[in-house]
Amino acid sequence: MHTFTRRRFMRSTALATAAAALPSLAAGQPLILDTDIGDDIDDTWAMLLLLRMPALDVQLAVGDFGNALYRARLLAKLLEVTARTDIPIGIGLGKENNPGNQSDWLGNYRLADFPGTLYEDGVQAIIDTVMGSAEPVTLLCLGPVPNIAEALRREPRIADNAHVVGMYGSIDIGYDGEPGAVAEWNVRSDPASLQAVFRAPWNITITPLDTCGLVTLDGERFGTLYCNDDPWLDALMENYAAWLPTSPYMDPDTDPTKTSSTLFDTVAVYLAAERNLVEMKALPLTITDDGYTIIDEQSGRMVDCAIGWKNLDAFKNLLVKTLLA
């Protein structure tokens, strides 16, 4: 195990100062974050990236796929670190508070300590935010989607005022850039919920493993983030170091001071704002009961897919630049 010696994050005036320097998000595209944060570390990278994208106005953050109290606590502490407690938090389905992969960083943080708005029923908060919006809302989905399926069940009309952007599936490429489709985690963990989302009459955009599975940072790019004094990045790197020993798929000799894990969800955040660096293609897709995302010319629904990179290096540079903003 590697010894982690970065400065501990502090709730201090330094945090407020760092956040005050950021551009206002008030004029951005309204967006709800639905995330299984606290399992894979890429959700934490994605959340901090999202908060530094002025084109996107985060109106609600909800933890999804069970263990909802743990996820809500993690969202709350991260929003405090980033001085973004103006963003409400919703508690998703499955009100467990079991230890998770980032519990060492979370410590004894309590939801009662969160100074912002907290909704006990996160699904209803999703419905109310969408139905109350004067313009269409982006549902940024970074994990399995039981919350969204339940929101559709309660109020199907949310599909009239929202569209989905998410990290799902595998078309021609699997994990680690290996050729051939696989049953990707976010799909196979709860295919029934994603099938319900695919049946709804809204636009859906996804980054499958064909694009998002190729994103890692190392060398100068990672070093620039790791060595920065920004308290946001301190919190990110502390979470990464806490998460790394818990990951079943990472090499135990991975050095958290040198390289990232695969940053799948950051591509979904990017697609919520722009698509210039990826090759997009509309594909008729079906979600199978065993978690595959297959091209189905007969009965598939059309989905906008980021099937390849026009310039992966440019995306990595943009990712670093945005996180440093």
Taking CA atoms, 198 is separated from 35, 76, 166, in Å, by: 18, 30, 12
Average pLDDT in the 87-116 region? 97
Answer yes or no: is 98 within a domain. Answer: yes
- Domain of 285 in residue numbering reads as 13-323
Q: Which residue is associated with the tokens 């990464």?
A: 240
What pLDDT score does 27 carry? Answer: 60
Per-residue pLDDT of 142-190, as tens digits, reads: 999 999 999 999 999 999 999 999 999 999 999 999 999 999 999 999 9
Is residue 133 pLDDT above 60, yes or no?
A: yes
Three-state secondary structure readout of the chain: CCCCCCCCCCCCHHHHHHHHCCCCCCCCEEEEEEECCCCCCHHHHHHHHHHCCCCEEEEEEEECCCCHHHHHHHHHHHHHHCCCCCCCEECCCCCCCCCCCCHHHHCCCCHHHCCCCEECCHHHHHHHHHHCCCCCEEEEECCCCHHHHHHHHHCHHHHHCEEEEEECCCCCECHHHCECCCCCHHHHCCHHHHHHHHHCCCCEEEECHHHHCCCCCEHHHHHHHHCCCCHHHHHHHHHHHHHHHHCCCCCCCCCCCCECCCCHHHHHHHHHHCCCCEEEEEEEEEECCCCCEEECCCCCEEEEEEEEECCHHHHHHHHHHHHCC
How many folded domains does the chain comprise?
1
Answer yes or no: is 105 within a domain. Answer: yes
Answer yes or no: is 7 within a domain. Answer: no
Percentage of the residues of the chain whose pLDDT score is greater than 70: 92
Query: What's the mean pLDDT when you consider all of the chain?
Result: 92
Question: What is the pTM assigned to this prediction?
Answer: 0.92
Answer yes or no: is 8 within a domain. Answer: no
Neighbours of 110 (CB within 10 A): 11
Answer yes or no: is 40 within a domain. Answer: yes
Answer yes or no: is 125 within a domain. Answer: yes
Per-residue pLDDT of 202-239, as tens digits, reads: 999 999 999 999 999 999 999 999 999 999 999 999 99
The domain that holds 212 is classified in CATH as 3.90.245.10
d(CA 323, CA 63): 22
Per-residue pLDDT of 240-294, as tens digits, reads: 999 999 999 999 999 999 999 999 999 999 999 999 999 999 999 999 999 999 9
Torsion of CA 86, 92, 94, 95, to 10 degrees: 20
Answer yes or no: is 232 within a domain. Answer: yes
The CA radius of gyration of the chain, in Å to the nearest whole number, is: 18
Answer yes or no: is 303 within a domain. Answer: yes
The sheet carrying 301-309 orders its strands as 118-119, 89-90, 56-63, 29-35, 137-141, 162-167, 204-207, 301-309, 278-287, 293-295
Residue 132 CB contacts under 8 Å (≥ 6 apart), including other chains: none
The CA-CA-CA angle for residues 210, 214, 220, to 5°, reads 160
Residue 136: burial class (beta carbons within 10 Å; 0-12, 13-18, 19+): middle
What pLDDT score does 24 carry? Answer: 34
